[in-house]
Chains A and B, each alone.
Chain A
Amino acid sequence: GIQVEQSPPDLILQEGANSTLRCNFSDSVNNLQWFHQNPWGQLINLFYIPSGTKQNGRLSATTVATERYSLLYISSSQTTDSGVYFCAVKTSYDKVIFGPGTSLSVIP
């Protein structure tokens, strides 16, 4: 089946720094979504981005479906950005697969 990888697995940032999180997938996908899981466990939608680029405030995402990857950019990071970031893909045979996540800690 499809493999979803995320890198880096862990990331520590100083407040105000920028970062790029990556999601690679081994097969073509119909859809891709980025989530932030906060320290209380709630999964929060960031982007629904099967292709192209989207921006929302300090966050932006780019998916290049033909090359099977997606990037999440976080600029001017804040302590509230801490948590785990997941990408999730929907395959052409209707399976929903989450990546293993990137754990982000933003320190003041």
Chain B
Amino acid sequence: EAGVVQSPRYKIIEKKQPVAFWCNPISGHNTLYWYLQNLGQGPELLIRYENEEAVDDSQLPKDRFSAERLKGVDSTLKIQPAELGDSAVYLCASSLVGNSYEQYFGPGTRLTVT
């Protein structure tokens, strides 16, 4: 069974440029999460989807961040425009719906904003 797939693995952009990250969850997983992880810290949830619906986006900086999950499968997270402080690892995870929330993580995208 394939795991959570993310691309790209690394991205270097100049500030004020846009950037997008892609995630494909484990087949059959209805719940998809995007996290941000700063160096030396634990992941912080940005947004959680149940199928196509964003059920928790309270931590998503909506002035510059956006996300979509069309058809309830893969998802895209976008930053426009990027700032220096956005340099971090962006992690995607998925899980089955229901009481069990056992999450499985992708390898992450390391973003560097110069």
**Complex interface: chain A residues within 8 A of B99 (CB):** 30-31
Asked if A96 and B108 sit within 8 Å, CB to CB, the answer is: no
Query: Using a CB–CB distance below 8 Å, which chain A residues touch chain B?
Result: 30-31, 33, 35, 40-45, 48, 86, 88, 90, 94-101
Q: What's the least CB distance linking B17 to chain A, in Å? A: 23
Option from B42, B45, B89, B110 in Cβ contact (under 8 Å) with A99: B42
Q: What's the least CB distance linking B23 to chain A, in Å? A: 14
Option from A31, A94, A96 in Cβ contact (under 8 Å) with B100: A31
Asked if B101 and A90 sit within 8 Å, CB to CB, the answer is: yes
Asked if A96 and B45 sit within 8 Å, CB to CB, the answer is: yes
Asked if A98 and B43 sit within 8 Å, CB to CB, the answer is: yes
**Complex interface: chain B residues within 8 A of A100 (CB):** 41-42
- Mostly, the B contact residues are strand
Contact (A96, B48) CB under 8 Å given A41-B89, A43-B91, A86-B42: yes
Q: What's the least CB distance linking A95 to chain B, in Å? A: 7
Most chain A beta-carbon contacts within 10 A, residue among B44, B91, B105: B105
Asked if A48 and B105 sit within 8 Å, CB to CB, the answer is: no
**Complex interface: chain B residues within 8 A of A86 (CB):** 42-43
B21 within 8 A of partner (CB): no
**Complex interface: chain B residues within 8 A of A33 (CB):** 101-103
**Complex interface: chain A residues within 8 A of B110 (CB):** 41
**Complex interface: chain B residues within 8 A of A96 (CB):** 33, 45, 48, 101, 103
Asked if B56 and A95 sit within 8 Å, CB to CB, the answer is: yes
Q: What's the least CB distance linking A12 to chain B, in Å? A: 17
Asked if A94 and B56 sit within 8 Å, CB to CB, the answer is: yes
1/0 contact string of B53-80 vs chain A (CB within 8 Å) = 0011000000000000000000000000
